[in-house]
Amino acid sequence: MKKVDIRTLTAWLDATLQASRFKDYAPNGLQVEGKSDIAHIITGVTASEALLRAAIERGADAVLVHHGWFWRNDDPRVVGQRRRRLALVLAHDLNLIGYHLPLDAHPTLGNNAQLARVLGLEPARDDDGVPLICGKDQLIWLGSAPGIATLGELAARIAQRLGRTPLCIGEAQQPVGRVAWCTGGAQGMMADAVAAGATVYITGEASEPNAHLARESGVGFISAGHHATERYGVQALGQAVADEFGIKVEFVDIDNPI
């Protein structure tokens, strides 16, 4: 069975995702150190207790996620939920590895790139083939939805491909032109998408102001689920790890309706 040293693995991940470029809300990379030799990784969206138990049951050496731990403004005390999760990781010598904004932003493995693939969105690109992006931290992607004429058709495709009925604000028959998207909790970036000329903005979550901005700007708003829009980047990253090091990598999807 092939193995990779945890330091070699995390160095490759850091370099591949250019983690040092980002000023993030949580530490990127190795968050809890476990055993040094890695032969089996479980990937998932969030380092929840359920995902950790799934990794333990499968005999994994590491857990690789998009939503790790130690978020800015978290209560730093090791009590309650944090104690239970940390106790599991330490008792089973698991490595916990997390990448937040670097995984959102990666041009091929990232959540935005992978959501485009799943939904059939076509990213707009510059003359060098780099995706056109805008907004805070340059995380909003811009492009089009080939084969889709209306907002209602786009919402229906999202429901079919993500397995989740999205929240859609706008007239079903309004035309789809320039599409902007940013996975997860990027509802607060909608104004940037509107300023960039989007006719539809797709993200994971919704807040009360989104409905007003959609109605007053005429830009369609689609909230397709935080978890549902961010399942694909970590899968692509896990496959890249498996290809690079020849180790076993499994994705475990812990259902989350949010």
How far apart (Å, rounded) are the C-alpha atoms in residues 120 and 138?
A: 21
| DSSP state, residue 39 | S
Final residue of a domain: which of 99, 126, 152?
99
Range of the domain at 35: 4-99
pLDDT in tens, 159-187: 999 999 999 999 999 999 999 999 999 99
Residues 100 and 237 sit within 8 Å (Cβ to Cβ): no
Give the three-state DSSP class for 218: coil
User: 234 pLDDT exceeds 90?
Assistant: yes
Final residue of a domain: which of 99, 116, 134?
99
Residues 84 and 141 in one domain: no
**What is the value of pTM for the model shown?**
0.96
Q: How confident is the model at residue 131 (pLDDT cuts 50, 70, 90)?
A: confident
Residues 91 and 198 in one domain: no
Number of domains into which the chain is organized: 2
Residue 233 forms part of a structural domain: no
We report the CATH number of the domain holding residue 159 as 3.40.1390.30
Q: Is 230 annotated as a binding residue?
A: yes
pLDDT at 1: 83
Residues 118 and 95 in one domain: no
Q: Is 75 annotated as a binding residue?
A: no
Residue 250 forms part of a structural domain: no
How far apart (Å, rounded) are the C-alpha atoms in residues 139 and 236?
A: 18
Residues 204 and 229 sit within 8 Å (Cβ to Cβ): yes
* 68-71: long-range contacts, CB 8 A cutoff, minimum separation 24: 68/26, 68/27, 68/31, 68/96, 68/97, 68/98, 68/99, 68/100, 69/26, 69/31, 69/32, 69/96, 69/98, 70/26, 70/27, 70/31, 71/25, 71/26
pLDDT at 216: 98
Q: How confident is the model at residue 239 (pLDDT cuts 50, 70, 90)?
A: very high
Q: Is 92 annotated as a binding residue?
A: no
pLDDT in tens, 195-227: 999 999 999 999 999 999 999 999 999 999 999
Residues 135 and 94 in one domain: no
How far apart (Å, rounded) are the C-alpha atoms in residues 185 and 203?
A: 7
User: 44 pLDDT exceeds 90?
Assistant: yes
Residues 79 and 132 in one domain: no
Residues 89 and 111 in one domain: no
Residue 32 forms part of a structural domain: yes
Residues 111 and 221 in one domain: yes
pLDDT at 129: 86
pLDDT at 103: 98
Report the percentage of the chain scoring pLDDT > 90: 95
pLDDT at 162: 98
Average pLDDT over residues 108-134: 94
